[in-house]
Amino acid sequence: MAKPVSRAYSRYASEACELLGVLIRESRIEQGMTVGELAERAGVSRGLVNRVESGDMGCSIGAVFEMAAILKLSLFDLSPDALSRYLSMKQDKLTLLPKAVRQSTVNVQDDF
């Protein structure tokens, strides 16, 4: 399936992505790291770093999170240990939930 040329995103999602890009750029500059250095450490191109920092919604989330990790930028209000515990707890919960959700085929009689 071909990638769509443009996709509409909610204002919230766009602003969140832009904020993350600004936080990455701010952290990189405060640490005295160039775009090229961050790109090399993250294993991506300088162009991708620039796109992330500008808030481009088409960037790989893995690359964005890797850049944030390299810069020691906290994305969640959890310490690394707490994040691991929280992830484990959520994964345990998912094992108890159904594997898939299907649309109900039963017509509900809700005329009272």
pLDDT tens string 69-89: 999 998 888 787 888 899 899
Tell me the pTM.
0.78
Say how many domains are in the chain.
1
Contact 82, 39 (CB under 8 A): no
Q: Is residue 103 part of a domain?
A: no
Checking if the pLDDT of 112 tops 80, the result is no
Checking if the pLDDT of 1 tops 60, the result is no
Q: Is residue 101 part of a domain?
A: no
Q: What is the CATH number of the domain that holds 52?
A: 1.10.260.40
Amino acid (one-letter) located at 86: Y
- Give the structural domain span for 70: 11-96
pLDDT tens string 13-22: 999 999 999 9
| C-alpha–C-alpha distance, residues 44 and 53, integer Å | 13
Contact 70, 24 (CB under 8 A): no
The token pair that represents 70 in the structure block: 């390299």
How much is the average pLDDT of 53-80?
92
Classified as helix, coil or strand, 85 is helix
Q: Is residue 107 part of a domain?
A: no
Q: Is residue 106 part of a domain?
A: no
Contact 57, 13 (CB under 8 A): yes
Amino acid (one-letter) located at 17: C
